[in-house]
């Protein structure tokens, strides 16, 4: 490999190396455990800096990877989610007495896989990145190994994930068989030449769609997420519920773009809007009946991916800007919510009933306020970044003539308001039902919650810089 | 964004001073409830001073008064989408803003005893609500307007949900969902308008003055008017979208009820006057019979239902539906007299209903009941209370020389001039108002003092009198010298009405088009 090729991999290399170093140090100097969180954070920061400063735009490895402002934007969202998850994890791991370097290493490798996934322009590279990511995710989902429920959720996730890998691989094979190439560019060219995908190629696209729809937990590929979220370590769920979706959204966009290269995009638009409507409606309605806050957030995540898909109904590049803003918003507010959940529920093996938070808004004013901000942002109320994301997505949908879809979207989010507000009223309007026992409210965790909540508000109040940056990044050059 | 322009601006100061006043609350210790109460009172008085100062210095001959110190230029907020931070005041919004700010000290004084827990959060909710209300009134940019409109929701939700009565959570959630349902559809309509403007001009703008130039085909206008009107009709509330109101009022604490009736409901009717009618003239003209009909039903239905209530607070709540029906009738009539009356009646209703809710709250603080059956003959033991209750009720009924009379008379006269018979039907509402309010006086104040518990009831304290006296003084002042209050709004109402009539008379185009700016619009844009 030439020096130039090495330099095209700097962020991923930093992440992988950081993980390996932490893992080795953990084996030989376990006494330094408390230093892994700052070390992993520094690694994440370095990767972000490398992606921002050191990564030349353009394609590398003979066109297998690309780097562009778009991939940079999505990468930064992934790294923000990673950093917030790391911050939230330290206290949780210490409280559960499972603090070890593997956790940090696996999380960093997940991020590396995600960054590769974002940059892959060829399907086999994409598949390898996906597998790197998935294996780390399975391990992390089962990380709290004393918990039966965690193992159960992780096995479900693993089994479903294995099917999905097979789907993706099969879809990839079909596309290769039909078009003779695994590069997305080549596939798009072949589809264009044939004036639309053939039946076999369409099947290939559909399989890929299903695969990444699974990672995004879009209805009807969503069944794994509530169980997995419930059993997995809460701070890690803040990552699991965001980062893989960030990467999958961009991949989905690329795949769909290749699929509509033939010019006939009506069928695909219908398919995507169907998935969007199903996710919005089913996600919100199912979240409504949840009593466990993690399951509620799982279904709410499904609904949010539905809103996100609204922006992808038309596959023009301007629709990437709302997607990116929405994903950043979702990363911040979801991380904020899961951080507070991780801090305030001390028994990870049991249900995390929303009612258990009764009256705690007064006992823990800071964390209560952070959770409230996250909930209001998830509900899409101004002046939060969650509103900004919804505004951009709906603006995009209305501008493309899908007023009906936008109306379905706002009505679905009205349902969402009910269950997000339930958390707020439990926090402030119910008398306390339990004493805090065994909680560990560490500085890292508080910092994660406050940072996420502050960013949610600040970006909602001063959105201009963010909007300008994303639009610049996603404008066709 | 220029910091000096932003913070030196008088309207910005008025809108954001309450929100900024939340920060020092964090440094007042939780235990010193008394300090929090006094702090809240001082902040609300300072805010009132700001508002009066602003209104006194304004030049009421001009149609729209720009945010004075900001040099009149909107500050770019999200330049990419043409979204601006643009606050302006005119003769329509300022009286309502004064009302909202003026009720604040009364709310604080009226909640002194009734609110027992979490005073810091209570103060923060009041302050944020005030910021939301004022921002909604002064916003001259549709996006900004929407943001402020939604900002009002959460503080009110907390006010009802934390300090409310037994079914408070049900009432709070119902309030939130009803309002949110309307405003979300309005959001889609706003986005649609923004795209239409973008399609016509190639540039983004959310500026109200720019949107006034949009000339839309009738079907589009009907949809958009529907979405806007739904949001405003829920807020107002118009029959049949009023069902959240009695629940919210009955469960809300006194302060919450006063603000809800006093100013939040007015934002619905203000929305009709400012946005729904001028932006969609053809559609609103088309639907005028429907609005008039619903307003009439609201007047009569509200009055009849108020009549049969056995709970004082519910009676006042239903009377609000009737009173807001009057306002809607005046707005739908599209006549200068009726509009002047409607605007004045919004203020009147805020004063008299605010005072009535305060009085009910004071009684509730003493007896922990609001049922008529528990009272009777109170005039003997609480003469001051009786005086204020009679005074406010008479103002609400529309006794000449008090404020309610002026407003209702103007509305009825204007409506008769413009529409004819609906004014006659509405006049029955005035009679019914007398019936139900006298029923309230009769059941509480007069008759024998039968209940033993009521014998020892203490009369109003100086603090409670301090809360009520300014409101009653204003009722009298408006009733005796209404021109002082009506004239400043006249230029704004006249020009809005002239532009509205001209547009409603012209046929709607087949394709969206951009109108030449009318005189009034130019004025507003300048």
| CB of A318 less than 8 A from some CB of B | no
Confirm if A438 and A346 have CB atoms less than 8 A apart: yes
Q: What is the 3-state secondary structure (H, E, C) of B227-269?
A: HHHHHHHHHCCCCCCCCHHHHHHHHCCHHHHHHHHHHHHHHHH
Query: Which stretches of chain B sit within 8 Å of chain A by CB?
Result: 76-81, 118, 121, 146-147, 150-151, 153-154, 157-158, 161-162, 168-169, 172-173, 176-177, 180-181, 184-185, 187-188, 191-192, 194-195, 198
Answer whether B162 sits within 8 Å of A381, measured CB to CB.
Answer: no
Q: Closest approach of chain A CAs to the CA of B160, in angstroms?
A: 10
Nearest of A168, A174, A72, A154 to residue A125 by alpha carbon: A168
Looking at every residue in chain B, the average pLDDT score rounds to 86
CB-CB neighbours of A290 under 10 Å = 19
**End-to-end distance of chain B based on CA atoms, in angstroms?**
21
**C-alpha–C-alpha distance, residues A355 and A292, integer Å:** 9
Q: What are phi and psi of B501, to 5 degrees?
A: -65, -45
Answer whether A395 sits within 8 Å of B194, measured CB to CB.
Answer: yes
Strand partners, B139: B87
Chain A residues near residue B158 by CB distance under 8 angstroms: 428
| CB of A203 less than 8 A from some CB of B | no
Angle, alpha carbons B351-B237-B422 (nearest 5°): 90
Answer whether A395 sits within 8 Å of B151, measured CB to CB.
Answer: no
- Residues 320-379 of chain A with CB under 8 A from chain B are 362, 376
Chain B residues near residue A403 by CB distance under 8 angstroms: 188, 192
Answer whether B184 sits within 8 Å of A410, measured CB to CB.
Answer: yes
Tens-digit pLDDT profile for residues A263-293: 777 888 889 999 999 999 999 999 999 999 9
Answer whether A464 sits within 8 Å of B147, measured CB to CB.
Answer: no
- Closest CB to A464 among B78, B154, B191: B78
**C-alpha–C-alpha distance, residues B356 and B309, integer Å:** 15
Q: Closest approach of chain B CAs to the CA of A428, in angstroms?
A: 7
**C-alpha–C-alpha distance, residues A151 and A140, integer Å:** 10
Q: Closest approach of chain A CAs to the CA of B13, in angstroms?
A: 17
Nearest of A367, A365, A404, A409 to residue A391 by alpha carbon: A409
- Closest CB to B151 among A382, A407, A424: A382
| CB of A17 less than 8 A from some CB of B | no
Residue listed under structure tokens 């939301």: B132
Answer whether A467 sits within 8 Å of B121, measured CB to CB.
Answer: no
Tens-digit pLDDT profile for residues B286-325: 899 999 999 999 999 999 999 988 888 889 999 999 999 9
- Closest CB to A398 among B81, B172, B191: B191
Answer whether A428 sits within 8 Å of B169, measured CB to CB.
Answer: no
Answer whether A429 sits within 8 Å of B172, measured CB to CB.
Answer: yes
Below-70 pLDDT ranges, chain B: 1-9, 60-73, 517-526
- Give the residue from chain A lying closest to B192, CA to CA: A398
- Closest CB to B188 among A403, A425, A463: A403
Looking at every residue in chain A, the average pLDDT score rounds to 90
Answer whether B176 sits within 8 Å of A394, measured CB to CB.
Answer: no
Helix (H) or strand (E) holding B310: none
Output the pLDDT for position B9.
Answer: 62
Answer whether A394 sits within 8 Å of B146, measured CB to CB.
Answer: no
Q: Is residue A60 over pLDDT 90?
A: no
Answer whether B150 sits within 8 Å of A382, measured CB to CB.
Answer: yes
- Closest CB to A429 among B146, B154, B162: B162
Helices (H), B461-512: 462-480, 483-486, 490-505
- Give the residue from chain A lying closest to B118, CA to CA: A362
* Tokens, residue B280: 């969609």
Q: Closest approach of chain A CAs to the CA of B272, in angstroms?
A: 22
- Give the residue from chain A lying closest to B179, CA to CA: A414
| CB of A395 less than 8 A from some CB of B | yes
Q: Closest approach of chain A CAs to the CA of B18, in angstroms?
A: 17
Chain A residues near residue B169 by CB distance under 8 angstroms: 425, 429
Q: What is the 3-state secondary structure (H, E, C) of B373-385?
A: HHCCCHHHHCHHH
Answer whether B184 sits within 8 Å of A381, measured CB to CB.
Answer: no
Mean pLDDT calculated for residue range A49-74:
88
**C-alpha–C-alpha distance, residues A380 and A363, integer Å:** 26
Output the pLDDT for position A111.
Answer: 95
Angle, alpha carbons A28-A29-A30 (nearest 5°): 105
Angle, alpha carbons B354-B359-B361 (nearest 5°): 95
Confirm if B457 and B378 have CB atoms less than 8 A apart: yes
**C-alpha–C-alpha distance, residues B345 and A150, integer Å:** 63
Answer whether B192 sits within 8 Å of A387, measured CB to CB.
Answer: no
Chain B residues near residue A418 by CB distance under 8 angstroms: 173, 177
- Inter-chain contacts counted by CB atoms under 8 A, chains A and B: 79
Tell which wins on pLDDT, B248 or A317: B248
Nearest of A261, A246, A237 to residue A212 by alpha carbon: A246
**C-alpha–C-alpha distance, residues A169 and A68, integer Å:** 26
Output the pLDDT for position B29.
Answer: 82
Answer whether B80 sits within 8 Å of A410, measured CB to CB.
Answer: no
| CB of A49 less than 8 A from some CB of B | no
Chain B residues near residue A386 by CB distance under 8 angstroms: none
Nearest of B435, B428, B436, B395 to residue B412 by alpha carbon: B428
Answer whether B78 sits within 8 Å of A428, measured CB to CB.
Answer: no
**C-alpha–C-alpha distance, residues B369 and A388, integer Å:** 45
Which among B120, B188, B192 is the top mutation candidate for probing chain A, defined by the most A β-carbons within 10 Å of its own β-carbon?
B188
Answer whether B153 sits within 8 Å of A403, measured CB to CB.
Answer: no
Q: Closest approach of chain A CAs to the CA of B101, in angstroms?
A: 22
Answer whether A394 sits within 8 Å of B192, measured CB to CB.
Answer: no
ipTM of the complex model: 0.91
Output the pLDDT for position B2.
Answer: 40
Q: Closest approach of chain B CAs to the CA of A316, in angstroms?
A: 17
Residue listed under structure tokens 């940072």: A451
**C-alpha–C-alpha distance, residues A105 and A15, integer Å:** 9
Q: Is residue A181 over pLDDT 80?
A: yes
- Residues 412-441 of chain A with CB under 8 A from chain B are 413-414, 417-418, 421, 424-425, 428-429
Q: Is residue A83 over pLDDT 90?
A: yes
- Residues 372-391 of chain A with CB under 8 A from chain B are 376, 381-383, 387, 391
Output the pLDDT for position A85.
Answer: 94
Q: Is residue A317 over pLDDT 80?
A: no
Give 3-state DSSP helix, strand, coil % of chain A, rounded to 5: 80, 0, 20
Q: Is residue A130 over pLDDT 80?
A: yes
């Amino acid at each position: 490999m030439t020096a130039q090729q090495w330099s095209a991999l700097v962020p991923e290399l930093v992440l992988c190396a950081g993980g390996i170093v932490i893992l080795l140090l953990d084996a030989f100097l376990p006494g330094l455990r408390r230093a892994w969180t700052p070390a992993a954070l520094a690694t994440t920061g370095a990767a972000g800096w490398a992606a921002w400063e050191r990564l030349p735009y353009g394609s590398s490895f003979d066109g297998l990877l690309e780097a562009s402002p778009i991939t940079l934007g999505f990468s930064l969202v992934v790294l923000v989610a990673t950093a917030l998850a790391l911050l939230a994890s330290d206290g949780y791991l210490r409280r559960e007495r499972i603090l070890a370097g593997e956790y940090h290493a696996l999380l960093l490798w997940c991020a590396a896989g995600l960054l590769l996934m974002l940059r892959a322009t060829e399907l086999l590279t994409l598949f390898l990145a996906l597998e790197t990511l998935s294996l780390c995710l399975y391990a992390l989902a089962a990380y709290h190994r004393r918990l039966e429920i965690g193992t159960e959720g992780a096995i479900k996730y693993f089994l479903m994930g294995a099917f999905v890998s097979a789907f993706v691989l099969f879809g990839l094979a079909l596309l290769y068989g039909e078009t003779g190439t695994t590069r997305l560019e080549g596939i798009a060219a072949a589809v264009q030449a044939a004036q639309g995908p053939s039946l076999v190629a369409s099947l290939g696209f559909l399989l890929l769609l299903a695969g990444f729809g699974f990672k995004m937990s879009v209805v009807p590929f969503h069944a794994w997420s509530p169980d997995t979220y419930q059993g997995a370590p809460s701070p890690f769920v803040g990552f699991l519920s965001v980062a893989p979706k960030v990467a999958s959204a961009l991949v989905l966009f690329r795949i769909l773009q290749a699929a509509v290269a033939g010019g006939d995009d009506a069928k695909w638009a219908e398919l995507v809007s169907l998935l969007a409507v199903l996710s919005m409606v089913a996600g919100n309605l199912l979240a409504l009946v949840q009593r466990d806050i993690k399951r509620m957030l799982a279904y709410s995540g499904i609904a949010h991916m539905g809103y996100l898909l609204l922006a992808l109904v038309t596959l023009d590049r301007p629709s990437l800007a709302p997607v990116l803003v929405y994903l950043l918003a979702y990363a911040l507010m979801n991380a904020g919510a899961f951080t507070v959940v991780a801090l305030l529920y001390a028994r990870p093996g049991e249900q995390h009933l929303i009612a258990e938070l009764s009256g705690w808004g007064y006992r823990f004013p800071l964390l209560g306020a952070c959770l409230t901000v996250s909930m209001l942002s998830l509900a899409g109320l101004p002046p939060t970044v969650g509103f900004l994301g919804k505004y951009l997505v709906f603006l995009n949908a209305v501008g493309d003539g899908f007023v009906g879809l936008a109306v379905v979207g706002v009505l679905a989010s009205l349902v969402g308001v009910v269950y997000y507000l339930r958390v707020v009223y439990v926090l402030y309007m119910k008398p306390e039902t339990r004493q805090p026992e065994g909680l560990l409210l560490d500085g890292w965790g508080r910092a994660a919650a406050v940072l996420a909540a502050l960013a949610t508000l600040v970006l909602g109040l001063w959105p201009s810089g963010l909007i300008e940056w994303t639009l610049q990044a996603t404008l066709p050059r | 964004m220029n910091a000096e322009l932003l913070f030196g601006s008088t309207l910005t100061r008025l809108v954001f001073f309450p929100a900024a006043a939340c920060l020092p609350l964090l440094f007042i210790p939780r235990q010193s409830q008394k300090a929090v109460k006094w702090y809240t009172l001082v902040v609300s008085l300072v805010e009132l001073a700001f508002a009066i100062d602003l209104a006194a210095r304004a030049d009421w001959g001009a149609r729209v008064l720009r945010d004075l110190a900001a040099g009149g230029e909107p500050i770019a907020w999200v330049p990419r989408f043409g979204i601006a931070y643009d606050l302006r005041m005119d003769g329509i919004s300022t009286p309502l803003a004064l009302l909202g700010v003026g009720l604040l000290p009364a709310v604080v004084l009226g909640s002194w005893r009734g609110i027992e827990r979490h005073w810091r959060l209570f103060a923060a909710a009041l302050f944020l609500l005030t910021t939301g209300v004022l921002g909604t009134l002064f916003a001259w940019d549709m996006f900004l307007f929407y943001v402020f409109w939604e900002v009002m929701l959460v503080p009110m939700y907390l006010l009802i949900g934390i300090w409310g009565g037994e079914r408070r959570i049900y009432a709070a959630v119902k309030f939130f969902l009803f309002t949110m349902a309307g405003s979300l559809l309005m959001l889609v309509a706003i986005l649609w308008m923004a795209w239409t403007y973008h399609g016509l001009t190639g540039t983004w703008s959310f500026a109200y003055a720019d949107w006034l130039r949009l000339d839309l085909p009738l079907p589009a206008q009907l949809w958009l008017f529907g979405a806007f009107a739904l949001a405003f009709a829920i807020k107002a509330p118009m029959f049949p979208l009023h069902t959240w109101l009695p629940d919210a009022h009955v469960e809300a604490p006194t302060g919450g009820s006063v603000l809800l009736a006093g100013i939040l409901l007015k934002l619905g009717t203000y929305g009709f006057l400012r946005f729904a009618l001028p932006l969609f003239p053809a559609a609103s003209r088309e639907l005028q019979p429907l609005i008039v009909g619903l307003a009439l039903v609201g007047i009569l239905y509200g009055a009849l239902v108020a009549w049969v209530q056995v709970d004082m607070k519910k009676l006042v709540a239903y009377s609000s539906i009737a009173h807001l029906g009057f306002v809607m009738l005046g707005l739908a009539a599209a006549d200068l007299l009726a509009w002047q009356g409607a605007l004045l009646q919004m203020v009147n209703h805020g004063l008299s209903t605010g005072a009535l809710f305060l009085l009910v709250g004071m009684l509730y603080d003493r007896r922990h009941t609001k049922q008529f059956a528990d009272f009777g003959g109170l005039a003997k033991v609480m003469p001051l209370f009786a005086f204020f209750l009679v005074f406010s009720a008479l103002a609400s009924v529309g006794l000449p020389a008090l404020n309610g009379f002026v407003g209702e008379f103007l509305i009825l006269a204007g409506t008769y001039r413009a529409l004819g018979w609906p004014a006659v039907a509405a006049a029955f509402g005035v009679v019914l108002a007398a019936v139900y309010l006298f029923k309230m006086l009769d059941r509480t104040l007069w008759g024998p003092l039968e209940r033993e518990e009521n014998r020892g009831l203490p009369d109003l304290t100086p603090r409670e009198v301090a809360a009520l006296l300014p409101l009653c003084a204003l009722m009298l002042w408006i009733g005796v010298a209404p021109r002082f209050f009506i004239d400043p709004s006249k230029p704004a109402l006249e020009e809005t009405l002239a532009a509205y009539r001209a547009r409603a008379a012209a046929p709607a185009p087949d394709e969206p088009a951009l109108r030449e700016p009318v005189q009034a619009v130019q004025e507003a844009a300048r």
